[in-house]
Structure 1
Amino acid sequence: MTPFQSHGRVIAGTVTVPSLDAALTLYRDLFGLIEVERRPVPADLAASWGCPANAGAPSALLQPASGAPCFIRLVEQPVPDAFVPTTSFGWASYEISVQNVFDWADRIAAAGAGVSIIGPPKEIPSLPFFVAMQMHGPGKEMLYFNEVRMDTPTTDLPKAQSPVDHIFITILAAHDRAASVAWYRDIIGLDEADSYTLNYTMINKAFGLPDGTQSSLTMMQAGRMPIFEIDDYPAQATTRPCDPGHLPPGNALVTMAVRSFEGLAVEWVNPPMRRDGALYEGRLTATVRGPSGELLELVEMEQG
């Protein structure tokens, strides 16, 4: 298994929620994630995202009980009325390794904790590698809970070491899948892996498309480590509605480790700077916008 803090590893996913306290009841108290920081969003951090209106917003950083150095950051902000999950370009979902996914479906339903299960867990004989379920959280974020059973022939999949462990794949709703694949391959330095065309139930439901409508996706990896799933979206997809100066709603921003900023041919939202705290550990960090408008925060692993 590829170690953490290696090139391409997702080390955080940021979620926007209408109430931080209510979201902590879900993520901390029900899911069992450990709250490691709580503070207002620093103005210079909000500026680094290109989201100055988030300065001072309540936020919390949570880590799996396993100790895996991969975080979920919650940021409080209103949910735009026009935001409908899985219908706009940008980060569409975070896929999280969990134990006993069927038990989680029952616990979430019993708790009534602001989560809507939209894809119950189901065994699929042709996919023995994992069992997944899909849900919307309190900020209309999409989460996949994925119980890993075994590695696939081309990827190493992480088995959860705590009831809810870490993000290991993030899903991108692409305006142009080929352009996004090329950018992440040629600019960010990831490996283009397999592509698939399938009956994608979540997309078909979100857009009211007939069952059996086919969508294509491409996996991006670093060696055998899966990182991003880049999805084609239908012609009906739109730019994500976003209040001026704020983070995109729902699955807002992905933080990824890179070897070095040297030679990265990207346009930073603001110049890189060193940041402290459990997520950054004094490393250089800066944010870019990907081809579909997604916010990708990069953290340099090599210390200069």
Structure 2
Amino acid sequence: MSFLTHGRIIGGLSTTPDLEGALADYRDMLGLAVIEHGALDADLAASWGCPASAGARFATLASVSGAPCRLRLVEQPLPDDFMPTRSYGWAAYEITVQDVFGWPDRLAGSGFEIVGQPKEIPGLPYFVAMQMLGRGREMVYLNEVREDTPTSDLPRAAAPVDHMFIVILAAPDRARTMRWYADHLALEEGGTYTIPYSMINTAFGLDAATLTTISMAQKGRMPIVEVDDYPAQAIVRGRAAGALPPGNALVTLAVDTLDGRGLDFLTPPQPRTGAFYEGRRAATVVGPAGELLELVEIA
């Protein structure tokens, strides 16, 4: 079966104030391969509603596993007041890896800041994850999968660092967001959990026992978007006029068709070239949490 099925994560985009430094981290430290680089096309930037990002330097990276899932880095200034995990929108990208306990030592001296050491969680034998921030304050989870969950199939890494398999969305209204993904993208609820979420509690200075409700939007047994109910203290993510959001900026998903979804695209769908598109039609929409969501037609 093809990797690119409806709902599959084709990739994510993160902004960075230092593209060369970010490449030293993602390419040289994590071992991802650069497959595309250049200046951001003005028409593509406009399709994201970000015309001011036209001409920005970018690079696209992929795992040496060969999985057709990409990470795009776009260079732009980092706002002084941007703090990760405190605003609505894309909060993190989760990547399947091998030997997660070895990664903190391997990343010593890099531009990554480890904010959550890998640890086993009692009662959750399915995976072990660690959390880190890149130079653009983008959040990345490295996740060693050990077994499938009762409701989803989790990908084992075929390389030391493989592909993105879950994207995490910070939402002001989790239930409404889940309905939007069901209504417009035909994604299903794979489970809802209420947990003490340490990353959120730390970011907002909440008691460690404070509970957060999260839901997984998935297709069949494939997890896609984790939707987190953020606390009332969360804010709308600020960004420069016409520019990409800072940090985790945009997610690209595969869809079987762009037609008949009732979506208000920022610009009309059109075929695009490059590693993310390969001649397929693509268009971008603003989701219910303010997230930039690019959809690529695979039918």
Tell me the TM-score normalized by structure 1. Answer: 0.97
Q: 1:247 aligns with which of 244, 247, 250?
A: 244
Rounded Cα–Cα distance in structure 2 between residues aligned with 1:124 and 1:57: 41
| Residue aligned with 1:128, SS | strand
Letter of the 2:25 counterpart = L
| Residue in 2 that maps onto 1:25 | 24
Name the amino acid aligned to 2:163: H
Q: What aligned pairs does 1:264-303 form with structure 2 within 5 A after superposition?
A: 264-302=261-299
Q: Distance in 2 between matches of 1:254 and 1:163?
A: 23
Please, what TM-score do these two structures have when normalized by structure 2? 0.99
- Match of 1:227? 224
Q: In the alignment, what sits opposite 1:115?
A: 112
RMSD: 0.8
Counterparts of 1:3 and 1:200 in 2: how far apart (Å)? 34
| Map of 2:197 onto structure 1 | 200
- The equivalences for 1:74-93 within 5 A come to 74-93=73-92
**Is 1:177 matched with 2:174?**
yes
Aligned to 2:33: 34
CA distance in 2, matches of 1:211, 1:299: 40
- Does 1:149 find its partner at 2:146? yes
Kindly state the Cα deviation for residue 113 of structure 1 after the two structures are TM-superposed: 1.1
- Unaligned regions of 5+ residues in structure 1, if any? none
**Length, aligned pairs only:** 299
Return the offset for 1:3: 4.2
Q: What is the alpha-carbon distance in structure 1 between the residues aligned to residue 26 and residue 180 of structure 2?
A: 33
**1:89-168 pair list within 5 angstroms:** 89-108=88-107, 110=108, 112-168=109-165
Structure 1 residue 235 displacement after superposition? 0.5
Deviation per CA, 1:187-229: give whole Å up to 9, x if none: 1111112101110000000000011001101111100000010
The Cα offsets for residues 108-130 of structure 1, whole Å up to 9 and x where unpaired, read as: 1x2x2111111100122311111
8 Å Cα contact 2:152-2:190 kept in structure 1: no
Is contact 2:49-2:266 (8 Å) kept? yes
Unaligned runs of 5+ in 2: none
The residue identity in structure 2 corresponding to 1:9 is R
